[in-house]
Chain A
Amino acid sequence: MKKHLLPLLAACMAFAGSTICKAADTIKVGVLHSLSGTMAISETSLRDALLFAFDEINKAGGIKVGDKSYMIEPVIVDGASNWPLFAEKAKQLLEEDKVAVVFGCWTSVSRKSVLPVFEKDNGLLFYPVQYEGEELSKNIFYTAEAVNQQATPAVDYLLAQGKKKFYLIGTDYVYPQTTNLILYKYLLLHGISLENIGGGLRKDDSGKVISAGKYTPFGHTDYQQIVSEIKQFAASGDACVINTINGDSNVPFFKEVAAAGLTPADCPVVSFSLAEDELRALPTKDLVGELGCWTYFMSLNTPENKAFLGRWDSWLKEENHPGVVKEKRAVDSPMVLSYDGAYLWKAAVEKAGSFDVDKVREALESETIYFDGPGGKITINKNHHATKNVYIGETRANGQFKIVKSYDQVFGEPFLLKGLDEKLAAK
């Protein structure tokens, strides 16, 4: 009797041991967003999207490397809308927590501040928010919209609509300044003459244009003068406005636009910083018919997106992560690109068969890593940017977008200025 019992017991223990051992196979993954301060309103949504992706991946059996499965263990840190703090937190994630990858950052300045840390410690960062381009770090993968996946398609669309005059307006910092400079050159290249680009130009001593468009500081509230200028600019009826105003200054701007009687039919405004999440806090009634351009819209009518939204809703009901708001949630492009980023990294790790940064990077650079996300297929290219679908939508009263145009599988190109300069010179 005893003789039989002992091996059985041993087998039991071994089995128990193996399951414990299996459960202990986790891999640490960093989430670096502002969970407090000015940017918290936008960035907490990205943390939620990432937690959702991690829960989904874990539920489906985790990440398979070789014959082992690893569960994702998120390490969430708060950048607190404080750019130097972002660098410190990145250092902590890479050197103390030894995370395999970090998903994070929203503003370009926070990305610029963590960049040297990632390069020094050879970390891996996935960056999900539309940005100005002109950057390529070997340690960062940009699932974000590059300028040619948001700004230039929008301009193409407006040109096709017969618009001949473009007024550029934005908040005064690196993203609008760079984007507008690119657009200024792009418009010149497409035969729009100098006087038909509104907002003003600034030149340096040698006469080279260094800034195009009108700029207001963060939190600006008085748009009377600018809107009346736009109104005169648009008097001929073939003008449009390219809006890179960031944050809640959009409210006084659009209220003034509505009060001045500038309708989307006469002079549409295309905004690059207003997605569904931001529209929740804006008077959408005044914005109906204005344009937006992103690589994902919540209203996208595809089975993949509907299934995704269904899963997101049921996750919101079930999850018990601290601090996740459950009511009145919207999903937008930065959230989906964060989500896509998690899956792209998983695919790359599984292909590389390792969590080693160099091997994962090699896998990602092989141009074979793709993911069928809610916004369509997204493929990482050798230049660390992604090829994906681009959509142009009109704002509706319910805070959603009606898609009016889509461009399939646009290649993400970060460096546009040099090429435009060369083409302009050739012209």
Chain B
Amino acid sequence: MKLPLVLALAVLLAGLTANPGTALAEADPVRKKLAEAILSEGGEQQQLLNELADTGSKAVVEILTAWSREGVFIFTSADNSKIPVILEEAEDSAGKRRALRIEDGQALRDSQGSELRFASSELAPADTDMRLRSVIQQALDTLALSMGAPDSRRSAALKLGNSQKIRYLPLLQNRLSKERNSEVRRGIEEAVALLELSGTDARTQIEAIRHLGQLRAIGCVDNLKSTIAKKGCAPEVIAAGKEAIRSIEDHIWWVNFFGTIFHGLSLGSVLLVVALGLAITFGLMGIINMAHGEMIAVGAYACYVVQNLFAAGFGFSVTLPFNFFGRPLHFGLHLPGINATGWFYETYFLFAIPMSFAAAALAGLFIERTVIRFLYRRPLESLLATWGISLAMQQCFRMVFGANNVQVNSPSWLLGHFTINDVSFGYNRVFVIGFAAVIVLATWLLLTKTSLGLLVRAVMQNRTMASCLGVRTARVNMLTFAFGSGLAGLAGAFLSQIGNVGPSLGQTYIVDSFMTVVLGGVGSIVGTVCSAVGIGTTDQVLQQTTGSPVTGKIIVLVAIILFLQWKPGGLFSIRSRSLD
């Protein structure tokens, strides 16, 4: 008598501890029960599903999910018995897939023992209807509460809380006693309070409301509001509710406040990174550099090329649209990739950063030697020439990389975010703030603490005088322009992580760059930093207060125009004795 009981317990335990990796291949009672549940009907089915919800098995999650999406099929065998199956993901050439039995996860075979294959249209899907799907969903939610990453456990708890079904209460309380992660605990507490809130007992409701207020549960404001708006709600409940809502809304205000400051800093950093190169080429050197945007694009494309070299390689072939002595001009290049995977592939971005600097610096060097060095005394002509260069470069990007945008994947360590007291900080945004700080510091050190920096400043302030004193001005010009272009390249590497990489990338940022440099005061690095952060923060604050992304930008632009009327030299105008 005792033996079967022990056996049953052992089997149950085995089901509970089933290793998720091999769960599909095991013949366990959980899977049997699943198969049974699929074939049964009505109350029995519901009962079985409720039991399955307590198993914590990954196989159950997979199959229930498939079932609710009509991915479970019924195969009727020759002897008219019904076998529930799922179809494997992989298709063969005829579009057919292997059928796996729910019962044991093994492939379905015919009487000769060869595997049966089906297209999904050949089998009848296991019936689901709205009611059944919601039962399945509840089972899945229960399972989700105990499995997976903290984030998904937390959102599963909140989902149950929002369901307003009091029967989840014991389940959640039970889970609360086991859960260790503080974020998830907070989520479950919220969910418990929400469920209690949906009850009718005024005292429990008040306690739940107070609890929610203490938890500062942002997601619960709607529920609180609808609760106190209900007819016949006790006045004490309304008072408590109002207080809780006030404290949560205060909290939201602070979250938005810090969030906006962070967004402003990050937008400011983007502007700073983008404008810093221009602060050198335009600010220090006085070249109205319309090709600055394309230098950014060079950096972004360099990032794309490095990414591809870490994967399958990079190749292009270009046929020029004109003939050269009767022959079509054709050239191409193929660089083999190293097919890196996993974490090694993810490090590609670390290599891409110096590469994008180098690529843009080289491009800048080339342009300086071929065009710009003839135009140092003619700023208006430098505007036209660099504009021409920018158009030519855009066409080059189109020929080599195509007119469509290219994909630059973000490494996983730049995706995601962390949360402090409900303010979320994206890794990529934190990265750009640090990145901007580092390159500003490096630029400042280079210009003020090195002998090269001294020469640069001397040449930029008075070319003729510096030349008289024996400085090789041509070389300094060349290096400075290359350095400015390289900084633009770094901006490109970063922009590839938050936006599009395409031939017209540079056009998007050229106006912002000039705006930042001019506002900051031409020739002043400190000014560029202040104006970038200032514009960024003002823009975000206005966006937050006006609620429209466009109005904020318009107000910022108008403010800049007015400011420049008042102080044409910008925030930090450099007083110079040079007469040019």
Contact = CB atoms under 8 A, between A and B. Distances in A.
B155 A224 contact: no
B409 A285 contact: yes
Given A259-B428, A260-B426, A265 B405 contact: no
Contacts of B414: 259
Give the top 6 A-B pairs by smallest Cβ distance, nearest first.
A235-B219, A236-B219, A259-B426, A224-B263, A281-B405, A252-B499
A41 interface: yes
A313 B177 CA distance: 59
A248 B501 CA distance: 10
Interface in A194-213: 195-196, 200
Contacts of A301: 95, 119-121
Given A215-B548, A259-B428, A301-B119, 10 more contacts: A200-B548, A215-B549, A237-B219, A248-B500, A258-B410, A259-B415, A259-B429, A283-B407, A284-B407, A286-B410
A232 B424 CA distance: 11
A228 B257 CA distance: 12
Contacts of A231: 424
A301 B406 CA distance: 29
Interface stretch (B50-58, B293-301, B539-547): B539-547
Interface string A241-276: 000000010011001101111010110000000000
Contacts of B548: 200, 214-215
B502 interface: yes
A127 B284 CA distance: 54
A34 to B, nearest CB: 13
Interface string B150-171: 0110010011001000000000
B352 to A, nearest CB: 16
B508 A219 contact: yes
Interface in A213-229: 214-217, 219-222, 224-226, 228
A60 interface: no
B521 to A, nearest CB: 24
Interface residues of A, number: 49
Interface of B: 69, 95, 119-121, 130, 137, 151-152, 155, 158-159, 162, 218-220, 222-223, 252, 255-256, 259-260, 263, 266-267, 270, 403-410, 414-417, 424, 426-429, 497-500, 502, 508, 539-540, 543-544, 547-550
Given A236-B223, A251-B499, A266-B155, A258 B544 contact: no
Nearest to B539: A222
A248 B405 contact: yes
A282 interface: yes
Nearest to A199: B547
A165 B408 CA distance: 33
A238 interface: yes
B252 A228 contact: no
For B407, B427, B502, the residue with the greatest tally of chain A CB atoms inside 10 Å of its CB is B407
A236 B222 contact: yes
B95 A306 contact: yes
A283 B409 contact: yes
B569 to A, nearest CB: 28
B263 A259 contact: no
For B220, B223, B410, B427, the residue with the greatest tally of chain A CB atoms inside 10 Å of its CB is B410
For B120, B152, B498, the residue with the greatest tally of chain A CB atoms inside 10 Å of its CB is B498
B266 A224 contact: yes
B429 A225 contact: no
A255 B405 contact: no
A214 to B, nearest CB: 8
Contacts of B223: 236
B416 A224 contact: no
Contacts of B218: 232, 235
Contacts of B404: 41, 280-281
Contacts of B252: 232
B429 A224 contact: yes
A404 interface: yes
A57 interface: no
A225 B543 contact: yes
A172 B553 CA distance: 15
A40 interface: yes
Contacts of A284: 407
B417 A216 contact: no
A225 B549 contact: yes
A222 B549 contact: yes
Interface in A22-63: 40-41
Contacts of B427: 259
Nearest to A250: B500
A216 B498 contact: no
A404 B69 contact: yes
Nearest to B255: A232
Nearest to A234: B219
A222 B267 contact: yes
A232 to B, nearest CB: 6
Contacts of B270: 222
Contacts of B543: 225
Contacts of A225: 260, 263, 540, 543-544, 549
B222 A196 contact: yes
Nearest to A248: B500
A237 B426 contact: no
